[in-house]
Amino acid sequence: MASPSLDIAVIGAGIGGLTAAVALQQAGFDVDVYEQAPELTEVGGGINMGPNAARILYRLGLGEALDREAVRPIGVHQRRWQDGRTLQRVPLNPLCEELYGAPHLTVHRADLLSIIAAAFPPERIHLGHRLIGFTDKGDHVETWFDNGRRATTELLIGADGIHSAVRARLFGEEAPRFAGCVAYRGLVPVDRIGDLGLELGSQSWVGPGAHLVHYFVSRGRLLNFVGWTEHDTWNREDWTDRATIDRALAAFEGWHPQLSRIIAAADTCFVWALFDREPLPCWSAGRTTLLGDACHPMYPFMAQGAAQAIEDGAVLAACLAAGGDPVETLRRYERLRLPRVSRLQQMSRANKTRFHLPDGPAQEQRDADWSRLPDRSPETLSWLYGFDAAAVVANDQR
């Protein structure tokens, strides 16, 4: 039987690992987090967070900090690349709160990570610990790290991202695949673009072979942009060296002038290559399981990668808190999560094609579909936004 004394090692202090750690600790478990980096960091600008993930963080008691740091966008405005014509425009807040009891948020990644980390005892986050191996001994798991330390726990949770060492050890090494897309990412102080008169919402611009999203973060002081373009090959050195503002401007040349104004107003621009893996048929073996990008990396074209990692942590904690044999409980967690994240992996992949259609009949049909039934509206996404981890576990027939 699970008991509050069950001790658990979480590998990886990203958004997924830390949320799981907070949820597990609040459920009464004894939790330690092991992170390879010497400090907690999140690279890049923003996270677009649907009410499905926001609800979980509010229930974990993080609402006050989120209300202070995050932005509540009033809506999503999807536009055509060249002339800015509206393709769909839907409200987000306060509608999400009315429908789902939680807002839609846009938040700086570093702010989000600090907010989650602040809810967990710092002495239980072990920085500079890179997992290099583990063995399941039947009634416990022994884990070892590159600094020579070892840990013995009853459960091991791999929340160590797309290059997961835990995943590789459980299911074999397999390099992730370049997804044929790179992102240019930047942050712009809003006082530099005040003349654009942007309302406090998200805008998403779609065009042939590319799309660009921008929204506010950091109490509305910064505008985050991510512009995706398609490419056949990826070479880290070549790309990172040349990820300049000029290169981002060239990638969106000929697009609406608002976008070049925004890109040019950034101090720096980072490039990010998108990698992908085939969905896994299972995530758990014995006393070890996975969560977040370690088991289900997804294209960010439903803005749900971090959100699903957050959901994983909440479901895992609720399953373990319900008691039972821990090995079977990990299987139950996986069974409850797999269909939902697999669906989102597929939808996110399909959006790459849909967003990047060349101008022509298929694009016209897509635009007509969006104007008839906006696929981004909170009502259309009720299956996604209405998710309630506690209810899913409580309603599950074991």
Q: Which residues contact ligand FAD (rule: CB under 6 A)?
A: 11-17, 34-37, 47-48, 130-131, 159-161, 165, 183, 185, 226, 272, 292-294, 300, 303-307, 309
For the CA atoms of the chain, what is the radius of gyration? 21
DSSP 8-state secondary structure symbol assigned to residue 125: E
Distance CA 128, CA 34 (A): 8
What the block records as the tokens of 252 is 């969106």
Q: Work out how close the CB of 312 gets to ligand FAD at its nearest, in angstroms, rounded to a whole number.
A: 8
Q: Work out how close the CB of 79 gets to ligand FAD at its nearest, in angstroms, rounded to a whole number.
A: 18
Which residue number, 290 or 321, has a Cβ lying nearer to ligand FAD? 290
DSSP 8-state secondary structure symbol assigned to residue 194: G
Distance CA 255, CA 173 (A): 41
Which residue number, 2 or 306, has a Cβ lying nearer to ligand FAD? 306
Residue environment code for 313-322, b if the CB has 16+ CB neighbours within 10 A, otherwise e: bbbbbbbbbb
Which residue number, 35 or 154, has a Cβ lying nearer to ligand FAD? 35
Q: Work out how close the CB of 303 gets to ligand FAD at its nearest, in angstroms, rounded to a whole number.
A: 4
Which residue number, 322 or 346, has a Cβ lying nearer to ligand FAD? 346
Q: Work out how close the CB of 319 gets to ligand FAD at its nearest, in angstroms, rounded to a whole number.
A: 18
DSSP strands (E only) in 208-292 = 210-217, 222-230, 270-276, 288-290
Which residue number, 291 or 321, has a Cβ lying nearer to ligand FAD? 291
Q: Work out how close the CB of 161 gets to ligand FAD at its nearest, in angstroms, rounded to a whole number.
A: 3
Distance CA 343, CA 340 (A): 5
Q: Work out how close the CB of 22 gets to ligand FAD at its nearest, in angstroms, rounded to a whole number.
A: 13
Distance CA 63, CA 75 (A): 21
DSSP codes of every residue in 18-50 = HHHHHHHHHTT-EEEEE-SSSS----SSEEEE-
Catalytic residue among 34, 184, 215, 333: 215
Burial of 98 (0-12, 13-18, 19+ CB in 10 A): exposed
Q: How many other C-beta atoms are found inside a 10 Å radius of the C-beta of residue 354? A: 18
100 is catalytic: no
Which residue number, 2 or 217, has a Cβ lying nearer to ligand FAD? 217
Sorted by sequence, the CB contacts under 8 Å of residue 168 that are 6+ apart come out as: 174
| Residues identified as active-site | 215
